[in-house]
Amino acid sequence: FSEFVIAISTSKMSVPAIPADAKSAKALLAKSVKDVSELPASGLLESIKQSVGPKATAEQKEGAAVMYKAIASSLKGGAVPFLLPLLPDIIVLAGDKKSGEVREAAGKAAKALGKVVSEHGVGNLIPVLLERAEKTTKWQETEVCLKLLQTFSESAPDAVAKRMVDIVPVVSALMWSTKKEIKKASAKTMKKVCESIDNIDLEPFIPALIEAITKPENVEDCVHALASTTFVSTVTSSALSVTVPVLDRGFKTGKVAAVRQTAVIVENMAKLVADPKEVYPFMPVLAPALKKASAEIADPECRERCNAAFKAVAAIGGKATEDAEAAAAKDAEDEAEHKRAIKIVWRDELVNAGVDAKLVKDASMECVLDYTAAVAYGLGKQSEFDQHEWMDELAPAFGALKLSKGDAKLAKAIELTLKEVERLTMEAGGEVFEEDETDTAEQLCDCRFSLAYGSKILLNSARLHLKRGRRYGIIAAKSAGKTTLLRSIANGQLEGFPTEADGLKSVFVEHDIQASQARLNVVGFVLATVNMEGLTEQMVKDTLTPIGFTEQMQNGPITSLSGGWKMKLALARAMLQKADILLLDEPTNHLDVVNVQWVVDYLTGDVCSNVTSLIVSHDTKFLDKTTTHIIHFSPQLKLDMYLGNISKFVERYPEAKAYFDLAAGQLEFQFPPPGALEGVKNRGKAVMQMIDVEFTYPGAPTPQLVEVNIRVALASRVACVGANGAGKSTMIKLLTGELKPSKGQVIRHPNLKFAYVAQHAFHHIESHLDKTPSEYVRWRFGQDGLDKEAETKTTMTITDEEKAAMAKPIEIVYEDEDGKRIKEKRVLEKLMGRRKEGKEYNYEIKWNGKSQDANTYMPRDELIDRGFKKLVDELDRRLLAMEGAYVRTLTQKNVREHYAKVGLEAELCDHTRISALSGGSKVKVVLGACLWPQPHIVILDEPTNYLDREALGALGRAINSFEGGVVLITHNQEFADFTCRETWTVANNRCNIHGTADWASYAQEAIELGLGQDVNTDAAGNTYELAAKKKPESLKPREKKQMIKLLKKKIRNDEEMAPFEQECADAFGVWEM
């Protein structure tokens, strides 16, 4: 056992003879050693070593074992560093061929050591036991080792779990032993050590996994059972240690079904691995098996699953995928170097703390320093840096240095060593902590904690260090746990984080209004929601007035406030509570540019100069202006701390460039291709249009919007901007039909399908939180493809007044069998279908009280004029939905693949309830559901809310590559600039258009320049070629005449020409005409 050395000076040392009976041994020990500091010089350790050699008598061997037990029982933890190097010799005695007394005494001696070793010290004994159990040919030795492992499974389960990767191969091999005693003991040991595995997903299968190790015929059944399991718990090496042997056999069956299921298990488990190093030991098994199956299995679908699993494993295995042995060797080398460094630190800090330098550097103390360095390393690996825990764990081992628990010298040495070990551990784990040493601000907290959501580990012993008055931006990938962290702080659930009881007030800043509070005025709302004794109405008014709340606003209903004013109110409520820490989750959501700047000024101004802020935001410009530090969720489940704002952070962490550049990033979204629209041959042709629209809310004295004229085409990329409350969302609701205009026309192509994601996107799913995303989509579109949510809109619901109007008889004229024209009044029962005659749709009417033979057709416009618009729209929707249902069936597999294209993982799609999803994932649920019908136009109201930067970039790139039209309502200028070429500015009750509104020119120009693909594919998979680039000479005489006339008009009015028009003007000499 090379790590621990027993180096006892033997010069002029008398080596006492050791008695073979326990009573005499205890007497000799009591006489020779008063405390553990006298043990090295007593000669007893050297006597034990000499008495276990091959030439020793049975009495000497028994005496050595008895004395070993006596030392362990009497001196307890202080003796462990000295006894541990002798353990292999004691285990050898347990297999002594000649003497049963020696074997019995050795077994008791090993057991005695097992009882006194500390929990963190157990990790240093396990390698000794495994090495001996694997190498020995004597079953009694093996049995002693196995029994000790069983003991440790109960006394130190965490230590056993950490070593499962080493334990399982040895014990599973012993389960095949022909010796019944070993077979029985190893089976019992395997069962006991597997109890240390903390993975609720695997717990029900552990008996089957153990059985499959010894019964290969059970492998297939075990694999199929595991494949049907939903894995949600974080996967560690202990869980893999018992699973991988069975998976290896699953691959070796060669059966397609078993191999496919094995690959599924590997892929699912790989996604839940938090620390890549946990996988390294298993790469020599998994990587070759998956690679071989990907190349050799006959079934293509199985090969695809194996290849996906290989990619998942390779993504976390890194270099270990190709050379696992080299990776493992490097880890072992790093560990040894780390322990050597800690040993040096112990020696220096003990001397610095005032311990006798001569004693510390004495050769006999080497084993103490080796042992304590190994224990300190283990504590660091588990991110255990509590000084009291270190004192409890290490004080006994330092007894040989005449130190004890509570000793000031030892406390000082532990304090200094702990800090150095923490630094070394952070460096080894890639943990970053940047601190301004000149910053004298008050420290609010410096704690380590772990954080989980359900059974998923989000942070593992992460450090959080906060100072007063500083502003920390929190950066992380999607669903990493940013909001969970803030909520845990606010609820006082974060281990070690100071709470209000400790004098630190943390307030979660939010502006959500409960239904029961909707009737309150602003002042009343503050009084009802701020839990503060002695708060008066006047105190509330004194706080609100300086930040712009007029008396009318303070007395007005809380629901009348826009998003910007609600955020101001939320911050005011936090300050009334005298917050020390503000917890802000997406504070700029729903805010226009003016209000975003107000929040920046507020957080960086004098009001918050003594307040610390923790900020989660996708708005990088906002973070750049506000933050003094960046906290980054690292892949190692730590919180890295960087000085400076996000720009400085990106300099140090280039991979985070996606936080700045929306065009960067690895995540990809893809919108489904829209189908062809009848009569629309040009992507620039308007398919949605508002003409001279005016709208007034019921009871309002003045119109909200007047003279609105806008158009949307398949080529549209529109950003709709304006101040909060200007009427942007109202205009979009008029465009989509959710509101009816007071005046003017709203025209939509009868076959048009559009997706509308509202500003408060979660209202789409608030009644379906108990469903998974897959179940929600299948519910929503499960009836012939019809959108059940669309049926609930007020513009789709027929009112009692409308029903009464529709019930009035209509006079029609029809011809009887003799050709005679007959006038008759009839009542419309329902619309049966439609057909196209020329450029117009005619609808088949079933008349009340008449047979199908009496059905007649009526033009669309006439039906709408007679008040049947909702019936017409309903039939159009039904027919379109049926077409869509034919193109793509509503299966769980199709829904899963659809959601994958908007960044929602299969696990979340199929197995996670919507209520358990993060805000960003819920937005993806809504977006994916709205895109299911493969719309031609996508309308997104504040799509940047709740999405992280990576998802925002993916959304922007998907919009840019979408073959349909897009309209965005957004306050995020960066996102608008990235995606849009036209701007609708809503202000002063009107909509002003900027940029290029003539999308026909864009579409035509794209065709002429040969941009994009030569062949397009519609939603049904049909392909059609784009028109070739036109040339002036290709125009027919009539077209040439019309073009010259148009060009003369444009020249006369000084209007801009499209490139093709300019070519024609040059070719036809129009400039000189």
Q: How far apart are CA 517 and CA 957, in angstroms?
A: 40
Residue 614: Cβ within 10 Å count: 26
Structure tokens at 421: 């070990």
Helix (H) or strand (E) holding 463: strand 456-467
d(CA 1002, CA 1016): 17
Three-state SS at 937? strand
For 157-206, how does the pLDDT look when each residue is reduced to its tens digit (9 = 90+)? 888 988 898 999 999 999 988 899 999 999 999 999 998 888 887 888 88
Q: Which of 890, 699, 696, 713 is nearest to 787 (CA)?
A: 890
The alpha carbon of 633 is separated from its chain's Cα centroid by a whole number of angstroms, namely 11
- Report helix, strand or coil for 721: strand
For 938-978, write each residue's pLDDT tens digit: 998 888 776 777 788 888 899 989 989 999 988 777 888 88
Centre a 10 Å sphere on the Cβ of residue 863 and count the other Cβ atoms it contains.
Answer: 21
Instruction: Give pLDDT, residue 506.
Output: 92
Q: Which of 497, 493, 457 is nearest to 635 (CA)?
A: 457
The rounded distance, in Å, linking the Cα atoms of 1036 and 1042 is: 10
Strands 456-467 and 443-453: antiparallel
- Which tokens hold the place of 991? 């909509």
Helix (H, G, I), strand (E, B) or coil at 67: helix
- Spell 480-494 as b/e; 16+ CB within 10 A means b: bbbbbbbbbbbeeeb
Over residues 332-352, mean pLDDT: 89
Residue 888, token pair as written in the block: 């793509």
Please tell me the distance from the alpha carbon of residue 139 to that of residue 174, in angstroms, as a whole number.
10
Question: Would you say 40 and 46 are in contact if contact means Cβ atoms under 8 Å apart?
Answer: no
Rounded to an integer, what distance in angstroms lies between the CA atom of residue 230 and that of residue 907?
8
User: Taking phi first (over 0 means left), then psi (-120 to 50 degrees means alpha), and beta for anything else, what does residue 623 get?
Assistant: alpha
Confidence (pLDDT) at 614: 95
| pLDDT over 80 (residue 1062) | no
What percentage of the chain has pLDDT greater than the value 70?
89
- Give the Å distances, CA to CA, from 703 to 71, 741, 743, 989, 1041: 94, 11, 10, 7, 46
Rounded Cα distance between 403 and 355, Å, is 9
* Phi–psi pair at 853, nearest 5 degrees: -65, -20
Q: For residue 510, what pLDDT is reported?
A: 77
Contact 410, 353 (CB under 8 A): yes
The structure tokens 């006994």 sit at 396
Q: Residue 515's pLDDT band (boundaries 50, 70, 90)?
A: low
Per the listing, tokens 């009573």 go with 23
- Sheet of 982-987, strands arranged across: 754-757, 937-941, 965-969, 717-721, 982-987, 990-995
Task: Tell me the residue type at 413.
Answer: A
666: which 2 tokens?
């690895």
Model confidence over 870-888: pLDDT tens digits?
A: 888 788 877 776 766 556 7
Q: Are strands 1015-1017 and 990-995 parallel, antiparallel or unpaired?
A: unpaired
The model's pTM: 0.55
Q: What is the CA radius of gyration of the chain?
A: 38
Q: What does the block give as tokens for 711?
A: 């158009």
pLDDT at 818: 77
pLDDT at residue 4 above 50?
no
pLDDT in tens, 81-91: 999 999 999 99
- Would you state the pLDDT for residue 1005? 42
Residues near 208 by beta carbon (within 8 Å), at least 6 away in sequence? 218, 221, 222, 225
pLDDT higher than 80, residue 1054: no
pLDDT (tens digit, 9 = 90+) per residue, 475-514? Answer: 887 678 888 899 899 988 888 899 988 889 999 987 666 6
The span from the CA of 126 to the CA of 803, in Å, is 81
Tokens of 305: 């699953």
Which of 67-71, 291-295, 779-783 is predicted least confidently?
779-783
**Average confidence (pLDDT) over 577-586:** 90
* Alpha-carbon distance values, 108 to 105, 236, 255 (Å): 5, 34, 49
What six digits make up the tokens of 676?
A: 């062809």
Amino acid letter, 1020: A
For the chain, give the longest Cα–Cα distance. Answer: 138
The Cα 898–Cα 894 span in angstroms is: 6
Report the Cα 219 to chain-centroid distance in Å: 33
Are the C-beta atoms of 349 and 387 separated by less than 8 Å? Answer: no
What's the pLDDT score for residue 465? 93
Looking at the DSSP bridge assignments, the partners of residue 1017 are: 1023
Average pLDDT over residues 990-1005: 59
- With residues binned 3-state (H G I as helix, E B as strand, rest as coil), the percentages for the chain, rounded to 5, are 55, 15, 35
β 717-721/965-969 pair status: parallel
- Left (φ > 0), alpha (ψ -120 to 50) or beta: where does 549 sit? beta
Buried b (16+ CB within 10 A) or exposed e, 257-281: ebbbbbbbbbbbbbebbbbbbbbbb
The residues with which 755 forms a beta bridge, in sequence order, are 938
DSSP conformation class of 1018: -
Tokens, residue 212: 């499959």
| Rounded Cα–Cα distance for residues 765 and 924 (Å) | 11
Residue with tokens 């509330």: 540
Tokens encoding 291: 């690679």
Q: What is the pLDDT of residue 634?
A: 85
Bigger pLDDT: 247 vs 737 = 247
pLDDT the model gives residue 658: 61
List, for residues 356-406, the tens digit of each pLDDT value.
899 889 888 999 999 999 999 988 887 788 888 899 889 999 988 988 888
- Give the Cα separation of 629 and 626 in Å (integer): 9
Average pLDDT over the chain reads: 83
Tokens encoding 926: 């809504």
The pLDDT assigned to 650 comes to 83
C-beta separation of 434 from 488 below 8 A: no
Q: Do 547 and 522 touch, CB atoms closer than 8 A?
A: no
Please answer whether residues 396 and 78 qualify as being in contact, where contact means their C-beta atoms are separated by less than 8 angstroms.
Answer: yes
pLDDT at 441: 92
d(CA 177, CA 168): 15
Tokens of 23: 């009573």
Report how far Cα 498 is from the mean position of its chain's Cα atoms: 27
And the tokens for 75?
A: 């001196």
Q: Which amino acid is at 432?
A: V
Residue whose structure tokens are 């050395």: 5
Segments in 229-282 forming alpha helices (H): 237-252, 256-270
For residue 611, give the 3-state DSSP assignment. Answer: coil
- Pairwise CA distance, residues 585 & 325, whole Å: 44
Query: What does 160-195 look like in DSSP terms, one character per residue?
Result: HHHTHHHHHHHHHHHTT-SSHHHHHHHHHHHHHHHT
249-263, 750-764, 959-973 — which is least confidently predicted?
Answer: 750-764
d(C-alpha 303, C-alpha 290), whole Å = 9
Residue 759 tokens read as: 């500003």
